[in-house]
Amino acid sequence: MTFRFQIKESYKYLQLCVALIAAMWLTSLFEVIVSNTTNSHILLAAAIKLVNDFWCGIIIGALLAPVYILINGFSKKWSYTIIKILFTCIVIIQFSLVKYSLTTLLNLGADLLGYSLDDIFNTVSASESFSIAYFIPFIIFPALFLFLFRIINKYIPNNVLFGAGVLLVLISGSLKLALTNVSEAKFQNKIAFLTHDIIKFQKEKRQLSAYNLSNRNDYPLLKPFSTSKDVLSPFFNVKEKKPNIVVVIVEGLGSEFIGDKTYSGFTPYLDGLISKSLYWENFLSTTGRTFGVIPSLLGSLPFGETGFLELPKTPSHISLISVLKTNGYTTSYYSGDQSSFDKKINFFEYNDIDNVIDENKYGPEYIKTEANSGGFSWGYPDAEIFKKTLASLDGNQQPRLDIIMTLSNHEPFNFPNKTYYEKKVDSILNSTDNFNTPKDDIVEHKDIYTSLFYTDNSIKNFMNAYAKRDDYNNTIFIITGDHRLIPIAQKDKLCRFHVPLYIYSPMLKQPEKFKSVSSHWDVAPSLLSFLKANYKFNDIGETAWMGEGLDTTKAFRNTHKIPLMRYKGSINDFMYKDYLYSDGELYKVNENFGTYKVTEEAIIKTMADSLMAFKKMNAYVTQRNKIFPDSLNIYVKPSIDFSQEQLAMINTLTNGLNFDQTFEIARDKAFKKERDTARLLCDYILNELPNHSDARTLKGRTLAWDGDYATAELELLNVIKRSPYYYDSYLALLDLYWWSEQEEKSEAIYRQALKNNIANPNLGYKMAHTYKRLENTERANTIIDSLIKIHPNNSEYLTFKKTLQ
């Protein structure tokens, strides 16, 4: 085989590149048209997009040219085919990224590296309704690429194409230099942005890793507890008993939707609560997505590389949960989705929380959010979350820390009785009231405003129901947003983080409003300082909070240095005094939290240096376990570490496998009587996914097979506590009690299964055998008769029935 490449073949490649550029620009044009509500800037945006798409296409063409030349030298046919396939895939990727941007109003960047495939699938499924129509554009744009190539190849002479290409290089190069906004994220080619952001992230990661941290052994965040001043006591009439603490984290609740702000008018209860609370109107979430709110709000913790919850090994730390638990509080978390999402459950497990009520704990009396056309549902809506919370409170000993996380104010903005709330929005639209935002915008995002109404009403009903409780007068409510919701356009780079903070309680002396800036990092230090100053608490010698505590100054000011993680892997925003530093640009922040761009080189350098210093410290404390010394951490249970030999075995058995595939390996090992290996793999799964019911049940079964009935019972009861509607754990427990001759325990488990509507015939069949052994023939007959009535031809049931006669 000889290598041959002729110059004329380069024209064919040039034609493919031009078709690729044109197809990418058409996807950009689609984005511009769909995302613009007015036509005033469409032409300018389309022109800027063309410049960026052109240069992206040139770079892609240059990078793949050697591949084309190499293959073409051996086979012209295969070179065309392979490059066509590659370019078609690029067009599909480009359009996929455009779809993501249209949904989130953000370009996908290095945050892609921070999510598992399951998390990505869940998020996309929630945001999109899949149908045949949904996939049509994914066919149209690749088809347009192939069509454009055919037209160019057939009708445009090579010399004209070459000349036009040179001219476009000159024109687009000049425009790229002349247009100041050509580098703005919203105008960038999506593939170019994704690639650049990942390269930037990896480069910064290598830089931070290159710093010599081996000679450090200090804990830079460690400080005396007394440095966090008690600033809340002056606002409270303190009672003798420790107060209950209720923390409500509202999905997507940005400050722009509250009070008299831009998009207000759809949260009447929360609007009214401002005048009854301590209210911080210039308050910040430390992250731009939900992944950061739990560790920041409850633990005042650093970010790590892609979020604290994503750290491979949880560093030693303390939190409100662990400290309050050691001081007599019953600690609980309530949500309607899976607590394994974003690995929240791992944080709660580490801090030894008493109760986690998530999607697994809701019975048939609760209404689940209807699945979208793609079959996806986040779980239970806000009203049901609060209903479940209220139903669970009486079973928990006081004082309590109750953490509630809402869900409904998130794509796809579905919840029961939605029509009722849509009519409420319609009545507002039809009224003569003036709005800060055009009514057309409200109509465009009607789902969101309807959801805000629903969430607000759910909070109202919860608070009204709680007010009837005996412990209401000794309860402190903390309400905040996790971040500002995404699908409505953001006015600037700060509003994504701008959320409200309420502290409401019947114990308040009087309400107050504060314009001073604080963040989620400041809540835990101030709340714990208040509790320690006024109630009997164990001595707290040192803490490692990122925050310094809430600022209760009424005038606008910022005394904090607040790095902000826009998304997983992006720490490029930083607030210092009344400045915001974002992606190398500087903005002045006014008392209404509006921003405008300024150029002050000294401030830019100061903030850039401060942000880099934080990044170094953040990498050091999270990678080296230097947040809080293990020797001082009396608040949490020690974590389980795998030995080097165990890690080697795990890596050998699970290389390239996901957790479900790993479970299949574990089950196979268990059936082959390699039970130690099976349990090791189960522990590996549970280390990452503590609520993996199959893995925990398999571990319990193998322990029972080996005769360790006591440990097996604890594991299986743990499964039922975590997932009370999962049938296999009940079956495993009945087997265990049968093998260990503890039949007297079976009846309680059987009753619990029936109460939870576990409809599995094997459960009744096993229990009938148990009653026979207990010599309760009457109960055995009752159960087997009910089974035979449903399954009259089941020979196993009929044979057993005869043994009872």
- The predicted model gives 567-578 an average pLDDT of 92
Query: Comparing 130 with 607, which gets the higher pLDDT?
Result: 607
Distance (Å, whole) CA 340 – CA 435: 40
Rounded CA separation 18/61 (Å): 9
Average pLDDT, the chain: 88
**Does position 208 have pLDDT exceeding 90, yes or no?**
no
- Stretch among 77-81, 108-112, 615-619 having the lowest mean pLDDT: 108-112
| pLDDT at 2 exceeding the cut of 70 | no
Share of the chain above pLDDT 90, in %: 59
Instruction: Give the model's pLDDT for residue 637.
Output: 66
Average pLDDT for residues 268-291, to the nearest whole number? 96
Q: What confidence category does residue 173 fall into, taking pLDDT thresholds of 50, 70 and 90?
A: low
**Lowest mean pLDDT across 3-7, 199-203, 307-311, 659-663:** 3-7
Round to whole Å and give the CA distance between 478 and 486.
23
Arithmetic mean of pLDDT, 46-68: 87
What does the block give as tokens for 6? 């002729």
Tell me if the domain spanning 644-759 has CATH number 1.25.40.10.
yes
Within the chain, which residue ranges are assigned CATH 3.40.720.10? 244-632
Whole-number pLDDT of residue 127: 57
| pLDDT tens by residue, 287-297 | 999 999 999 99
**Mean pLDDT of all residues in 508-523:** 97
Q: How confident is the model at residue 200 (pLDDT cuts 50, 70, 90)?
A: confident
- How much is the average pLDDT of 620-626? 92
Q: What is the mean pLDDT of residues 612-629?
A: 93
Distance of CA 419 to the CA centre of its chain: 28
Q: Is residue 650 scored above 70 in pLDDT?
A: yes
**Quick one: pLDDT band at residue 37, thresholds 50, 70, 90?**
very low
Nearest-angstrom CA–CA distance, 386 and 793 = 46
DSSP 392-427: HHTTSPSSEEEEEE--SSSTT---TTHHHHHHHHHH
Residue corresponding to tokens 């265990």? 736
All CATH 1.25.40.10 domain ranges of the chain, comma separated, are 644-759
Q: Determine the pLDDT at residue 39.
A: 46
CB 726 within 8 A of CB 759: no
- The per-residue pLDDT for 255 is 94
How confident is the model over 318-340, as pLDDT tens digits?
999 999 999 999 999 999 999 98
> How confident is the model at residue 669, as a pLDDT?
95
**In the block, which residue shows the tokens 């209220």?**
390
Q: Which residue has the higher pLDDT, 785 or 435?
A: 785
**Alpha helix (H) ranges present in 112-239?**
117-127, 132-155, 158-178, 190-210
Residue showing tokens 């919203």? 186
- Tell me which of 480 and 151 has the higher pLDDT: 480
Asked whether 254 and 485 are in contact (CB, 8 A), the reply is yes
Does the structural domain 244-632 have CATH classification 3.40.720.10? yes
Percent of the chain with pLDDT over 70: 91
Total residues found in the chain within this entry:
805
Q: pLDDT value at position 176?
A: 65
- Between 670 and 68, the higher pLDDT residue: 670
Q: How confident is the model at residue 38 (pLDDT cuts 50, 70, 90)?
A: very low
SS3 call for 678? helix
Give mean pLDDT, residues 651-661.
Answer: 91
| Span 123-148, pLDDT tens digits | 665 555 556 777 888 889 999 999 98
Q: How far apart are the first and last CA of the chain?
A: 85
**Range with the poorest average pLDDT among 55-69, 284-298, 501-515, 581-595:** 55-69
In this structure, the number of other CB atoms found within 10 A of the CB of residue 366 comes to 18
Residue 343, phi-psi category: left (phi > 0), alpha (psi -120 to 50), beta (remainder): left
Give the integer Cα–Cα distance in Å for 805 and 800.
9
Mean pLDDT score, 623-632: 90
pLDDT at 392: 93
Paired tokens of 337 = 């989705």
Answer whether residue 284 shows pLDDT above 90. yes
At residue 1, the pLDDT reads: 44
Between 149 and 676, the higher pLDDT residue = 676
Residue bearing the bigger pLDDT, 352 or 159: 352
Say if residue 348's pLDDT is above 90.
Answer: yes
Q: What angle do CA 558, 564, 566 make, to 5 degrees?
A: 140
Q: Is 5 exposed, middle or buried (0-12, 13-18, 19+ CB in 10 A)?
A: middle
> What pLDDT, on the 0 to 100 scale, is given for residue 694?
95
* Residue 692 pLDDT greater than 80, yes or no: yes
Structure tokens at 512: 């107050």
- Any idea which residue has 């599995």 for tokens? 760
At 391, list the tokens.
């139903």
pLDDT at 544 over 80: yes
Phi, psi torsion values for 598, nearest 5 degrees:
-135, 165
Bond into 381 cis (ω within 30): no
Mean pLDDT of 784-792: 91
pLDDT at 177 (0 to 100)? 63
Q: Bigger pLDDT: 397 or 772?
A: 772
Decide if pLDDT at 30 tops 70: yes
pLDDT at position 776 is 92
Q: Which residue bears the tokens 């009214």?
A: 272
Q: What is the pLDDT of residue 111?
A: 77
Q: Check whether 270 has a pLDDT greater than 70.
A: yes
